[in-house]
Structure 1
């Protein structure tokens, strides 16, 4: 049994961790760099970034009180949106937090050089090693050190603001919006990462005392305080700059302090900068290490990462790994573009955090009972998602491509390692699955309720079709016409040589033509609905069939389905062409006497059943007095939620059908396996989608199931013009 973490962090530690994670590079490194993008409006950029972070802070505060577990962002996204997005968020956030900690130490080098003549990289590596050791010793020690570091740093920054406000020159704010709206948004996205630490405390929620109270107070209190501090500090940096060329400086706070404070003021600010950056690195290491720890408990990464020391009650393996990554980054990774990448990915993660809260709220889970609830839901989350998307659009190509690379790598890890080890899905995925299933059933219900009372069914035959097969084909067409409460037309399409004029061919009546008319006259006396028959001669049969269907406004076109080893009057290319050039639903039938049908299997191996297919299968079973079985093939790794959704969907369809209906879920998608599962059926009904994008989405050809079955089969090719579009089809395939 895995050892649990101790609850040793009180409200002061929570505030210190959150503030310390924010007040670092956001004050001492980034302001001057952001000034190059927005000019004096960098002050507004910091305020706007704080406002845009607020939705994620509120969302995390609510979810953290409902799930006070180690892992923070990862836990909420994984529980809310599923293990795939949880893996992407967990690994990506772990990487970005580790880098932000390394960046704080590397970015503090210019300040360190002002005091000490030492190699900055060596010093950064040494400090990182010390912090790793402190984190290994225990979270209580980490929290106490964080309180001390943040306290000293905030005192120094308070002195900096108080001693420098009198030197602020309004002239420095001339041309406030010189960077334009684009510059303001770019700067806002750039400094967004300064606030990322506000939610880091959620990653150690499992170690916080009284989480119901301390987590919301810690998150919201630290965000409000830090936003005010940022605005004041950046106002001083812009307004009291010793020169107009401060933009781009690597030590902006020290540069300003040298002109506004007493002689030894620079020393105090440099010390504060070092403390702030060390506290940022410490908080980053503390929170980042909890991501692999939490993910290992959910089997998304190796089990070794969930080890907790019996002596120190800390996740030593996760801390060691995170510390090693930070050391490697300090030693080898350039910081400029990757800093932007970290900000872009943090925006993306915060968008997912807001969506995760929506998932929990809309799913109405019985065990989701947070002590704190966002009072402005869902407007807060909508604002956060929209604002994040706007900022992402202004981040530039490099960070967006980098974020996509990280996301893709995380998805590959999930597919290669984690997918086989997890059997759960997020509440949003489950809720989406249920809604898609309900909507698919409702679409079928509407098809049953609104079928045209004048539905026109045409059965196409040829002169070389054996009389017994012709009779069976027409009987099945009649059953389908009855299902549509429509009229039936049987048309014999005769192909004649190009040299023979069509008019002459139409006037020549052979004995076989007389036999056809006799058979149709006899059939017409036994069919209860409107019935007619005729013959069409043509040099090009497929054009004749398509033209007839268009001209006579045919709703359902029934043609003979010929097995591969037999001659066909229309081959697959002809059928594809007909399907594209007429508005009729196409049904390919293996002629079978209705009297031999006792069990009909309606099969799908990708997504829900097409509503027309259900309607036709029900009508055919009704005419034959047969039992209908709904057969759904799913992957072997399908979750129990997916199977439950399919069972509910089948139950809804059973209520619509007028015949006896059974249900079957096949835990394998291979055509041979599906065919074996329905081997006791007398007839199977499958659907073949002719849209190119549907073929790309489907990993299997439904007709291969019919071929593997080897017995009588019906292939339905519904027209998709009035059906669901690409996005809906993707969702349906994922859901069912």
Structure 2
């Protein structure tokens, strides 16, 4: 459909998008390739490495979790190539939402934007719960104990509200309102710290690996590898936040592909090494009893100081994941609002800091509610669905735009189109099939709500709709 169609499948031109990202609703351009790689690592290396490997090994894959990470990593590699092409040719805030709007049409853009909003807020809440768990464990080792009622989700282990999780989200909100430059500096420092801690863990634990712990390698069968991949796919949630930073890049055409692919390669290698180490040091079933498997493994082999140090690094590492995940979500809402699909108040930019202040506050409020009352595993399962759907939309958009707009310059070209995007979509569909039934039900309800909002509000308030009525 053309951009002038009244159809719900009307597409927005790349030229209009670029023109709209200027003036008083433009974001400050401050990011280079190093900052983007660190943003990707900051988003990805968090709950997925410090919390979920133990749960996934104990309940889904056993030692074969190593292969689960490879399956999930390959899915992301294929999708990242599509992201890199689209982000380099459409350097606008919004990530998959923007790509879907341009490639497939407004209704698909809205659905993926609505989906991404849930994905990021659930992802943010999950990391906040993991952060809380490590902080409570760390302080407990120093004799500082919190009442169970204020550090556990509602109804779990005597919990009423997970107060530390709520408070850390609030702090991240204040930091992001203050400005992206300050946020990036903090993220870079935290990424260096947590990478050092992960490498230290591997060095300390590798001498305690017992190959017997890897036998049986497939305790849940080969199918457990794919079920594990579907669950720990959450470990990769957030790498696409790099593409959300497109509008704030100094040279997006060159730097975005570096940030997307570079951060993904680093993270995948680290995940595989940590999974192999964890399942080699202790029998996989032991991890059912802990939400802090990396620190727990060192504690069980007698390296107490290393366990405490890892806990400190995990708290810092999860903090950077919180920061980048919240950042990504605020930019999604900002883009939806600037296009008129959400109220314009959410695309208001702070006159001094040039940050989307109202979007940031909204994301924080909803995420504080989620993280305060929901358990980590349920949150992770819900976030995975959104990411996989986003990957499918982006991959499909890469194929469609090659056909519709072959004239647009592509500083980075995904190889072997349509083969690579098609493989990415097949991987994603299979992992969706493996997700728990509860996750699919929640996603269906969320999308149904989104469709109602689109026809009740978004379609008639769309910037494209208003332009057409004015005869533009």
TM-score by length of 2: 0.87
Alignment of 1:557-576 (within 5 A): none
Residue equivalent to 2:421: 381
- Between the aligned partners of 2:470 and 2:63, the Cα distance in structure 1 is 54
Distance 1:107-1:55 versus aligned 2 partners, 3 A rule? same
Residue equivalent to 1:88: 111
Residue among 24, 32, 57 paired with 2:54: 32
Is the counterpart of residue 359 in structure 1 residue 413 in structure 2? Answer: no
TM-aligned CA deviation for residue 7 of structure 1: 0.9
Residue equivalent to 1:421: 461
Are the equivalent residues in 2 in contact too, given 1:338–1:399 (CA < 8 A)? Answer: no
Distance 1:244-1:182 versus aligned 2 partners, 3 A rule? closer
Q: How many residues align?
A: 429
TM-aligned CA deviation for residue 362 of structure 1: 1.3
Which protein is richer in strand relative to its size?
1
Are the equivalent residues in 2 in contact too, given 1:68–1:211 (CA < 8 A)? Answer: yes
Are the equivalent residues in 2 in contact too, given 1:88–1:407 (CA < 8 A)? Answer: yes
Residue among 194, 197, 203 paired with 1:153: 194
- Between the aligned partners of 2:284 and 2:455, the Cα distance in structure 1 is 54
**Relative to structure 2, which stretch is displaced further, 72-81 or 235-244?**
235-244
Are the equivalent residues in 2 in contact too, given 1:32–1:249 (CA < 8 A)? Answer: yes
Residue among 392, 395, 400 paired with 2:432: 392
Higher relative contact order (CA 8 A, sep 6+): 2
Distance 1:136-1:227 versus aligned 2 partners, 3 A rule? same
- Between the aligned partners of 1:66 and 1:32, the Cα distance in structure 2 is 39
Residue equivalent to 2:352: 311
Are the equivalent residues in 2 in contact too, given 1:163–1:260 (CA < 8 A)? Answer: no
TM-aligned CA deviation for residue 261 of structure 1: 6.7
Are the equivalent residues in 2 in contact too, given 1:242–1:259 (CA < 8 A)? Answer: no
Distance 1:391-1:102 versus aligned 2 partners, 3 A rule? same
Residue among 217, 221, 230 paired with 2:262: 221
Residue equivalent to 2:279: 238
TM-aligned CA deviation for residue 638 of structure 1: 11
Are the equivalent residues in 2 in contact too, given 1:163–1:261 (CA < 8 A)? Answer: no
Is the counterpart of residue 126 in structure 1 residue 195 in structure 2? Answer: no
- Between the aligned partners of 1:136 and 1:74, the Cα distance in structure 2 is 22
Are the equivalent residues in 1 in contact too, given 2:35–2:188 (CA < 8 A)? Answer: yes
Alignment of 1:314-463 (within 5 A): 314-366=355-407, 368-422=408-462
TM-aligned CA deviation for residue 264 of structure 1: 0.9
- Between the aligned partners of 1:30 and 1:335, the Cα distance in structure 2 is 9
TM-aligned CA deviation for residue 154 of structure 1: 0.6
Are the equivalent residues in 2 in contact too, given 1:423–1:638 (CA < 8 A)? Answer: no
Alignment of 1:58-97 (within 5 A): 58-97=81-120
Is the counterpart of residue 264 in structure 1 residue 305 in structure 2? Answer: yes
TM-aligned CA deviation for residue 182 of structure 1: 2.2
Are the equivalent residues in 2 in contact too, given 1:89–1:349 (CA < 8 A)? Answer: yes
- Between the aligned partners of 1:391 and 1:242, the Cα distance in structure 2 is 26
- Between the aligned partners of 1:27 and 1:257, the Cα distance in structure 2 is 15
Distance 1:306-1:365 versus aligned 2 partners, 3 A rule? farther
Are the equivalent residues in 1 in contact too, given 2:298–2:304 (CA < 8 A)? Answer: no
Distance 1:157-1:169 versus aligned 2 partners, 3 A rule? same
- Between the aligned partners of 2:246 and 2:117, the Cα distance in structure 1 is 16
Is the counterpart of residue 280 in structure 1 residue 321 in structure 2? Answer: yes
Are the equivalent residues in 2 in contact too, given 1:164–1:261 (CA < 8 A)? Answer: no
Report Cα offsets for 1:417-441 as digits up to 9, x if no partner.
111233759xxxxxxxxxxxxxxxx
Are the equivalent residues in 2 in contact too, given 1:423–1:639 (CA < 8 A)? Answer: no
Is the counterpart of residue 104 in structure 1 residue 105 in structure 2? Answer: no
Residue equivalent to 2:34: 12
Are the equivalent residues in 2 in contact too, given 1:48–1:188 (CA < 8 A)? Answer: yes
Residue equivalent to 1:141: 182
- Between the aligned partners of 1:327 and 1:275, the Cα distance in structure 2 is 19
Residue equivalent to 1:293: 334
Alignment of 1:46-65 (within 5 A): 46-65=69-88
Residue among 44, 55, 66 paired with 1:43: 66
- Between the aligned partners of 2:456 and 2:25, the Cα distance in structure 1 is 28
Distance 1:226-1:180 versus aligned 2 partners, 3 A rule? same
- Between the aligned partners of 2:310 and 2:470, the Cα distance in structure 1 is 56
- Between the aligned partners of 1:3 and 1:185, the Cα distance in structure 2 is 43
Residue equivalent to 2:215: 174
Report Cα offsets for 1:66-90 as digits up to 9, x if no partner.
0111111111111111111111111
- Between the aligned partners of 2:463 and 2:92, the Cα distance in structure 1 is 20
Residue equivalent to 2:7: none
TM-aligned CA deviation for residue 336 of structure 1: 3.1
Q: Which SS does the other structure have where 2:94 is aligned?
A: coil
- Between the aligned partners of 1:331 and 1:302, the Cα distance in structure 2 is 27
TM-aligned CA deviation for residue 299 of structure 1: 1.0
Distance 1:638-1:51 versus aligned 2 partners, 3 A rule? farther
Residue equivalent to 1:115: 138
Residue equivalent to 2:294: 253
- Between the aligned partners of 1:396 and 1:333, the Cα distance in structure 2 is 17
Distance 1:261-1:382 versus aligned 2 partners, 3 A rule? farther
- Between the aligned partners of 1:311 and 1:225, the Cα distance in structure 2 is 35
Are the equivalent residues in 2 in contact too, given 1:18–1:219 (CA < 8 A)? Answer: yes
TM-aligned CA deviation for residue 258 of structure 1: 1.4
Are the equivalent residues in 2 in contact too, given 1:242–1:255 (CA < 8 A)? Answer: no
Are the equivalent residues in 2 in contact too, given 1:241–1:255 (CA < 8 A)? Answer: no
Unaligned runs of 5+ in 1: 426-636, 641-736
TM-aligned CA deviation for residue 390 of structure 1: 1.1
Alignment of 1:592-607 (within 5 A): none
Unaligned runs of 5+ in 2: 1-22, 140-144, 152-161
Report Cα offsets for 1:502-530 as digits up to 9, x if no partner.
xxxxxxxxxxxxxxxxxxxxxxxxxxxxx
- Between the aligned partners of 2:415 and 2:302, the Cα distance in structure 1 is 44
TM-aligned CA deviation for residue 178 of structure 1: 2.1
TM-aligned CA deviation for residue 332 of structure 1: 3.1
Are the equivalent residues in 1 in contact too, given 2:63–2:284 (CA < 8 A)? Answer: no
